[in-house]
Amino acid sequence: MSRESMEYDVVIVGAGPAGLSAACRLKQLNANYSVCVIEKGSAVGAHILSGAVFEPTALNELIPDWKSMSAPVTTGVTDDQILLLTSDSKHIKVPGLFAPKTMKNHGNYIISLGKFCSWLGAQAEALGVDIFPGFAASEILFDQDGKVTGIATGDMGLSRTGDKKDTFMQGMELHAKYTLFAEGCRGHLGKQLIDKYNLDEGKDPQHYGIGIKELWKVPSEQHKPGLVVHSAGWPLNETNTLGGGFLYHLEDNQVAVGLITNLSYSNPHLSPYDEFQRYKHHPSIKQHLEGGERLTYGARAITKGGLQSQPKMSFPGGLLIGDDAGTLNFAKIKGSHTAMKSGMVAAESVAKALANNQANSDIVEFAHAYQKSWAFKELHRQRNFGPAQHKFGYLLGSAYAFIDINIFNGCLPWTLKDTVADHLTMKTVDECDVINYPKYDGVLSFDKPSSVFLSNTNHEEDQPCHLQLSDPDLPILHNLTAYNEAAQRYCPAGVYEVVEDSDGSSKFQINAQNCVHCKTCDIKEPSQNINWVTPEGSGGPNYPNM
Ligand SMILES: Cc1cc2nc3c(=O)[nH]c(=O)nc-3n(C[C@H](O)[C@H](O)[C@H](O)COP(=O)(O)OP(=O)(O)OC[C@H]3O[C@@H](n4cnc5c(N)ncnc54)[C@H](O)[C@@H]3O)c2cc1C
């Protein structure tokens, strides 16, 4: 039976900052364009997890009078602190003079990016965009010449074994003159497009971190709205792992706390989840949370390769935008403003193509327009930050970045490369020390099940597993001895377990219903054996405010 279909001028996959900004800009340019946005979360914002310190540059351009339109962008940054955690109890406050200028946040806001996307989604709808939350784009549609012609949503109501249940609903085709892919970091369809069109030819591999975050409600007397704290050093320095922590005081007595662990880490015993749990016990972090209550938990991978890792963003029939293409500026740990700008520039390029009656072409002009934008220029100036840290380690790398960015304003005439993909950096267990993590105290630190509970994650249990193994035997036959199956630790949601089977042998178990869609497994599995595909639409976390 052929699938039902709908026709649009432009179909956009993903209602994050990139996708929604592209949708708004298209309708601003021509109200007659038919534009739809498809979102796998149950609502716009439900799958969004960010810090977030928000730079309003792109928003000022997209919706100049946002301040009078109840945008949830209200807590201006009042104080910026950078801490170097030198041990589990000591820290040094980095004087402002030595802080990289990319980490200065005067004029920025502390927001919930999920709440912001929900607001931006409402602005897009008011402009006439159709938004379909609860539907995952699971397949790219191509014509006979290999041009992208749209996407198909996944079938709903299939059983674990792929049989149709009573609730079966066939997926639908959304046909478009142009399709914009804005799935965020490690997009499942973006990955296929990069592969099919060799979009990453000649580029460094993309690099990633895993960000684990909690939202707390703290006593009023402890709350300092507008305070931004970034930290480096402990606990990740104990394993020579790069990354850093963040702690932001939002409105309503809320504090966002998180730790980003670079996925270039090498010790298979490392657990980003446990690193984060102990991070909160550092006295300089603990003082903000004490007496408070944990409200929400979540995790999401973050792209950090920068310009050197950015694939070609156009291909026949569409564009990759936002973090699907890696537009994040890791020197600032900010990607919302650059994702928005890439979406806006994409919309302008698509509008020109539509005005010229083109359809499903490769909009090569987009690359020029993007290169002229401030987003590209910003990424170009700060291109050496990430590679310098990988090459020289945190302290020397930061010193290098300070000189490059603060003194030479990113104009040094060379570009550092970072050519080893994150999944290739894992060592075997016999090459590394075991890490003994402290027990959770149930006050500041908590176990995974209670954390996943707070992410409101829910999947229909009887559906095909959305975490596909290329070789189902590899976890036990190889990964268990080589890495003590590191998936058990790099997954922040307890999806992967090695359990004892009825005959006493070891069995690799995938608890797919726990998955918070962070994509870490798809990135870090050393043999690239795990392929993350979209589960039934609306499955996954239901973040209220992340
Ligand atoms: C821990 C952490 C802290 C961060 N801190 C900051 C910060 O302080 N400031 C800042 O500016 N940036 C920060 N960022 C980065 C910022 O969140 C991203 O750069 C930004 O969200 C990228 O926007 P995007 O639209 O490209 O993708 P996303 O925001 O990831 O949005 C993608 C959307 O697409 C949907 N989607 C994906 N695949 C499909 C599919 N196949 N079908 C349908 N829908 C799909 C997703 O559910 C999601 O809603 C942080 C990121 C992390 C992880």
Contacts of 361 (CB under 8 A, 6+ apart): 147, 316, 317, 353
Cα separations in angstroms, 252 against 66, 256, 473: 21, 12, 49
Residue nearest to atom 12 of ligand 1 (CA): 334
Each residue's pLDDT tens digit, 273-300: 999 999 999 999 999 999 999 999 999 9
Residue nearest to atom 9 of ligand 1 (CA): 334
Q: Choose one of 59, 140, 193, 336 to mutate for the ligand 1 pocket test, by most ligand atoms within 8 angstroms of C-beta.
A: 336
pTM higher than the cut 0.85: yes
Ligand 1 centroid to 438 CA: how many Å?
Answer: 31
Each residue's pLDDT tens digit, 150-179: 999 999 999 999 999 999 999 999 999 999
Residue nearest to atom 29 of ligand 1 (CA): 16
Q: Record the tokens describing residue 16, joined without a space.
A: 């994050």
Residue nearest to atom 35 of ligand 1 (CA): 14
Is a pLDDT exceeding 80 seen at residue 370?
A: yes
Amino acid identity, position 113 = L
Q: What is the mean pLDDT of residues 358-371?
A: 97
| Burial degree of 1 (CB within 10 A; 0-12, 13-18, 19+) | exposed
For residue 466, what pLDDT is reported? 97
* Letter string b/e over residues 428-460, b meaning 16 or more CB atoms within 10 A of that residue's CB: ebeebeebebeebeeebbbebeebbebbbbebb
Q: What is the mean pLDDT of residues 38-54?
A: 97
Each residue's pLDDT tens digit, 430-444: 999 999 999 999 999
Is a pLDDT exceeding 90 seen at residue 412?
A: no
Phi, psi of 505 (to 5 degrees): -85, 165
Nearest to 191 by CA among 374, 421, 419: 421
> Is the shortest distance between the CB of 254 and ligand 1 below 6 Å?
no
Ligand 1 centroid to 428 CA: how many Å?
Answer: 32
Ligand 1 centroid to 377 CA: how many Å?
Answer: 21
Q: What is the mean pLDDT of the chain?
A: 96
| 544 and 456 Cβ atoms separated by less than 8 Å | yes
Measured from the Cα of 328, ligand 1's closest atom is: 19
Q: Angle at Cα 260 formed by Cα 541 and Cα 498, nearest 5°?
A: 60
- Domain map of the chain by residue range? 5-66+114-204+307-381, 73-112+206-303, 385-411, 423-532
> Which conformational region is residue 257 in: left (phi greater than 0), alpha (psi within -120 to 50 degrees), or beta?
beta
Each residue's pLDDT tens digit, 172-188: 999 999 999 999 999 99
Percent of the chain with pLDDT over 90: 90
Nearest to 457 by CA among 263, 287, 300: 300
Nearest to 324 by CA among 15, 18, 532: 18
> Is the shortest distance between the CB of 338 and ligand 1 below 6 Å?
no
How far is 304 from 264, CA to CA, in rounded Å?
A: 11
Nearest to 332 by CA among 155, 138, 58, 100: 100
CATH class of 5-66+114-204+307-381: alpha beta
> Is the shortest distance between the CB of 516 and ligand 1 below 6 Å?
no
Q: How far is CA 392 from the centre of its chain?
A: 25
For residue 100, what pLDDT is reported? 83
User: How many other C-beta atoms are found inside a 10 Å radius of the C-beta of residue 98?
Assistant: 11
| 183 and 216 Cβ atoms separated by less than 8 Å | no
Measured from the Cα of 323, ligand 1's closest atom is: 26
| 445 and 277 Cβ atoms separated by less than 8 Å | yes
> Is the shortest distance between the CB of 315 and ligand 1 below 6 Å?
no
CA max distance for the chain: 67
For residue 543, what pLDDT is reported? 96
> Is the shortest distance between the CB of 136 and ligand 1 below 6 Å?
yes
CATH tag, 423-532: 3.30.70.20
> Is the shortest distance between the CB of 536 and ligand 1 below 6 Å?
no
Ligand 1 centroid to 546 CA: how many Å?
Answer: 11
Nearest to 216 by CA among 299, 294, 280, 290: 294
* Letter string b/e over residues 170-194, b meaning 16 or more CB atoms within 10 A of that residue's CB: bbbbbbbbbbbbbbbbbbbbbbebb
CATH class of 73-112+206-303: alpha beta
For residue 348, what pLDDT is reported? 98
> 494 falls in which pLDDT band (50, 70, 90)?
very high
307 versus 402: which is more confidently predicted? 307
Cα separations in angstroms, 242 against 107, 159, 179, 425, 482: 28, 41, 36, 13, 23
Residue nearest to atom 31 of ligand 1 (CA): 16
